[in-house]
Structure 1
Amino acid sequence: MKENPYRQNREEMKELLLQYNNFKNGRKFSFIEEESFERIIDYFDENDDLISAVEAVNYAVEQFPYSSALHIKKADLLIATHRYREALFLLDKAELLDSNDINLYILKTDAHLALDNQEKAAALLEKAIHVFQGEEKAELLFELADVYDDYEEFDKVFNCLKLILEQDPTNEEALYKICFWTDYTGRNEESIKLHQKIIDEFPYTQLAWFNLGAAFQGLKLYEKSIDAYQYAIAIDEKFDYAYRNMGDAYLRLHKYKEAIEVLQKVLELSMPEEVIYEALGHCYEKLKNYAQARFNYRKASHLNSTDSHLYFKIAGTYMSEGYWDSAVKNIENAMRINKSQPDYHLALAKCYVQLDRIKDAVIHFSNFIKARPKNNNGWKELIKCLYEAEYFEEALEQVYNAQKNTNNKPLYTFYKSAILFALGKSKEGLLQLELGLQKSPGLIRQFIQLNPSLLQHQSIVELIALYKTKSPRKKK
């Protein structure tokens, strides 16, 4: 029967520690080899006993003063105990003994960063990457990318990752990271060229296809991005992020049925997420399948019950179908979470208009206007509400307020005209209508939509006809 290797290692470690204690206490002196010291130091370090680890490394360095590896171990422990300057001094000494140990540069970088010397850390690594090759060079480039990230030289982060991929085109870590930094820096054209080159050499690298798709998506070339994602999925049919991004691309192209299909695939392959259900709800809403839209918005709200806009979206589906009471309930749910969102007040006011609760509607239109006094839509809806409810004096007052707050938009001149006619002030109404037609004759439609019976006034019809004949004809 073979001996359990774990038990064997434990027994060996026990023997080493006994030997080390005898060495410390001057009893039964037996020579401890350099490798054994390294194992003892690592044992204390792995068990979070830094004091014992530092003590052991000090003994080790005394015994082997020309060991670069032990000096580096000691420097590592000094960094762990925040003694950065001592660590740098020791690393300089270790470099004289052996300048080809990559850990020298990594630890020096850590120490410089801890001392807020980012430029020194970058300069050190920039020099070191020309010394090493292969995996070690890639490791240093990753370190350098982190340094550039730390002091916000984001284009240089992209450059480091690009260098890694030029020497190791299938490096997964670099492929994952460069996708983010391509998007962040906007260097999509470079990313496309880089990944097309990788694909030419390694056509079954699904991450390269995915990154190519993401770069096309960054340039809003959605059809090309979808093609790239489909290649990624052909290589790895469980590549959920490719389905996710493809869903977004289909959404941008307004291809809602196709988006639904791939977003459903995301749900099959990964944990349910609020954002996916919300996207599905949006697709169904665009397809006017309001019941399915609500179903998915509710799924999203179950995953994040504190997100008020999901309840607002549910309300929107009810409003589209004319279920005003249900819409009100969901808007109220949204407002319990976020009372300060002006759009909720505007939507609630519109529902109250449909339910003939005019006073409630006016309150919420007013709340919207207080939050967004320059917003044309709020004033327009409030005035229409008051006019249709035959509160003509109040409507006229709000017209004046709207003109003050919206830089006297011509629409309110037409509304003022309609209100004056409703108040029996036909001459003043006609003057305002003429003024409106002089400023913006195209808005006459909104004047008529407010009250089509105004066309029963002969004077209004004649004035409109006059301005139609005055307006220049389009050239054929």
Structure 2
Amino acid sequence: MKRNIFLFCLLACTVVQAQKTDSISRAMDNYEYETVIKLIDQQESTIPLMLLKAKAYRGLFLYDEAANCLQEILKTDPENNQATIELADNYRLGGRFSESLKYYEEAINKQPHNKYLKLQYINLLYRLDKHHQVIDVCKEMLKNDSTAYVLRLTAQSYDALLNDTMAMLHYQKAIEKNPRDYISVSRIATLNIEVDTEMALRLTEEYRKIDPTNIFVNRVNAQAYCIAQDYKTAVERYKPLIEGGDTSKTTCYYYGVSCISLLDYENAYKYLLLALANDPTNINLLYYVGTAACRTKRVKEGIMYLEMALALAIPQDIEMAKLYAALAESYGRDENRKNQIAALKEQLRYDPQNNLILYRIGTVYHDFLQDEKNAERYLEMFMKTKPESMDIKSPQFLLEDGKFAPVMVEKKKKREEIDYYIQADARLKDMRVEKFFRDGVKEEDIKK
């Protein structure tokens, strides 16, 4: 009888225990982590239950509590590699990377051929900028396993070490293994976007056939079209990104530049301003924002941005000349002629081969400041730059409505260049005629 009672009690306990275990399993399967922790706290502590409790804490982002559970297991069972791996994962997710690295190394020593551990380990090395170590570990892995992920992580480490040749080689191998590897596609396209824009376009267009929605590839694709000066296509490619809420600096910058080139100054101003908020000391951005602002009747604001760019500029002649040209245009729109003249003179200082600046200075002096002396001086300087072979009195030009107009010149640039010399010559003659009637200038001076 006593034996039967004992067996009955033992069976009852087993049933109750099984019910509690089932309750924990159901709660775990339903992600009811708080319930899991409460039920486990009612049980006698065991390693399997402590592992479950640690997972439940981790599911609630309570990484310190999870670590405490796992450390308790390792105190009683130092060789428990499951607890070691869980602790490494837990520290990684909680941002305690150095501790995580230590436990991954311990786990790998126990299981040297475990691919999961090695992948997590090299990923963590990469996040810690230990790129030489990443490359060394990846090289060992690639002897037996050339997965796309390992190839790409190798490429990214070479990339971080500025070894473009090796980076592109491994990015290319990663793409061959996995054509859907958008990170490798976008990165290799970015590395080539300036030196081989056609290649960047070809690579991103091929990927778009697989997935036309990938934001990272589409960014590079649109940027490449902008660099290739196909601004219409660039804007078409940027629009879905913009409409999808992409306000990254690169997107806003190149979209804004494309809009400027298509004379859409309002959108250019709006998005270049967003890009500038993320990079307020970028001279090119300040230049483009200033230009867009001036052409949307925000002239004083535009002048402010251009002056900021000049204050930051490294004195490289081409860039400085470009900034002063934009500033001169902005002062002209603001009808601030003295500052316009000053900016034009600075532009000439940085770009002395640009003879047209002399013409512009002369016309501002003449048309707006009524300073005939300086107007004549700069227009004469401009006329002295006329090539001897250029005949501005040739029959290929006709007089229309009192102005000389080219009618038979093939190249537009050449035609415009000749036209400026014709206009300067006409202006000088008009000025001398006026001086003759006003001041009695000698007739031979008029015939110069």
Instruction: Give the Å deviation of 1:336.
Output: 0.9
- The answer to whether structure 1 residue 432 and structure 2 residue 301 are counterparts is yes
Secondary structure of 1:322's counterpart equals coil
One-letter amino acid of the counterpart of residue 349, structure 1:
A
More helix by share: 1
**Once the 2 structures are TM-superposed, how far is the Cα of residue 258 of structure 1 from its aligned partner?**
1.8
Contact 2:89–2:100, Cα closer than 8 Å, also in 1: yes
Give, in whole Å, the separation in 1 of the partners of 2:138 and 2:192: 24
| Residue in structure 2 matching 1:383, options 241, 250, 256 | 256
Residues 229, 242 of structure 1: 8 Å contact kept: yes
- Normalised by the length of structure 2, the TM-score is 0.56
Matched, 1:147 2:21: no
Superimposed CA distance per residue, residues 411-461 of structure 1 (whole angstroms, 9 cap, x where no aligned partner): 89964642587x8x9xx78623355589xx689759999953223658389
User: Where does residue 71 of structure 1 map in the other structure?
Assistant: none
> What pairs up with 1:347-426 in 2 under 5 angstroms?
347-372=220-245, 377-385=250-258, 387=260, 394-399=263-268, 402=271, 415=288, 417-418=290-291
Contact 2:269 2:293 in 1 (8 A): no
Match 2:162 to one of 281, 285, 288: 288
* Match among 203, 206, 209 for residue 336 of structure 1: 209
2:217 is paired with a residue whose SS is: helix
- Contact between 1:157 and 1:181, CA under 8 Å: does it hold in 2? yes
Change (3 A) 1:220 1:346: closer
Pair 1:186-2:69 in alignment: no
- Contact 1:290 1:317 (8 Å CA) reproduced: yes
User: Which letter does structure 2 place at the counterpart of 1:249?
Assistant: L
How far off is 1:146 after superposition? 1.7
Q: Name the CA distance, whole Å, in 1 between partners of 2:275 and 2:143.
A: 53
Alpha-carbon distance in 2 for matches of 1:174, 1:300 = 40
- Further displaced range: 337-346 or 220-229: 337-346
1:455 maps onto 2:329 in alignment: no
Looking at structure 1, the residues matched to 276 and 73 of structure 2 have their Cα atoms a distance apart, in angstroms, of 59
Separation of aligned partners in 1, 2:118 and 2:241: 39
After TM superposition, give the deviation of residue 365 of structure 1 in Å. Answer: 3.6
Q: For residues 312 and 164 of structure 1, what CA distance do their matches in structure 2 show?
A: 52
> What residue identity is the alignment partner of 1:229?
Y
> Match of 2:31, as an amino acid?
E
- Cα deviation, 1:14-69, whole Å, max 9, x if unaligned, reads xxxxxxxxxxxxxxxxxxxxxxxxxxxxxxxxxxxxxxxxxxxxxxxxxxxxxxxx
Change (3 A) 1:447 1:261: closer
Residues 455 and 461 in structure 1, CA contact (< 8 A), matched pair in contact too = no
Amino acid corresponding to residue 233 of structure 2 in structure 1: D
Identical pairs, percent: 16
Q: Does 1:210 align with 2:85?
A: yes
Alignment partner, residue 248 of structure 1? 123
Judging changes above 3 Å, is the alpha-carbon distance between structure 1 residues 273 and 183 closer, same or farther for their aligned structure 2 residues? Answer: farther
Once residues 40 and 154 of structure 2 are traced to their aligned partners in structure 1, the CA distance between those partners, rounded to angstroms, is: 35
For 2:161, give the aligned amino acid.
Answer: L
Structure 1 residues 227 and 151: alpha-carbon distance in aligned structure 2, compared to 1, 3 A threshold:
closer
Task: Give the Å deviation of 1:283.
Answer: 2.2
Q: Structure 1 415/310 Cα, relative in aligned 2: closer, same or farther at 3 Å?
A: closer
TM-score by length of 1: 0.53
The whole-number CA distance in structure 2 between the counterparts of 1:415 and 1:448 is 18
Alignment partner, residue 13 of structure 1? none
> 1:221 offset after TM fit, Å?
1.5
CA distance in 2, matches of 1:312, 1:221: 30
Residues 380-409 of structure 1: CA deviation (Å, up to 9, x unaligned): 32333465x6x6xx0534335648x96997
Per the alignment, do residues 298 and 307 of structure 1 end up closer, same or farther by CA in structure 2, a change over 3 Å counting? Answer: same
Call closer, same or farther: CA 1:218–1:375 in 2, change over 3 Å: closer
Distance in 1 (alpha carbons) for counterparts of 2:231 and 2:66 = 57
Partner SS for 1:210: helix
CA–CA separation in structure 1 for the residues paired with 2:45 and 2:13:
24
Partner of 2:407: none
Asked if 1:346 is matched to 2:346, the reply is: no
- 1:234 is matched with which residue: 68, 89, 109? 109
| SS of corresponding position for 1:288 | coil
The two structures, once aligned, show a CA RMSD in angstroms of 4.7
* Aligned residue-pair number: 321
Q: Which amino acid aligns with 2:136?
A: E
Which residue does 1:311 correspond to in 2? Answer: 185
Question: Whole-Å Cα distance in 2 between the matches of residues 184 and 310 of structure 1?
Answer: 31
Q: Which residue of 2 aligns with 1:327?
A: 200
Letter of the 2:339 counterpart? S
Say if 1:399 and 1:460 are closer, same or farther in 2 by CA, change over 3 A.
Answer: farther
Q: How does 1:193-204 map to 2 (within 5 A)?
A: 193-204=68-79
Match in the other structure for 1:279? 153
2:36 corresponding residue in structure 1: 157
SS for the counterpart of 1:246 is helix
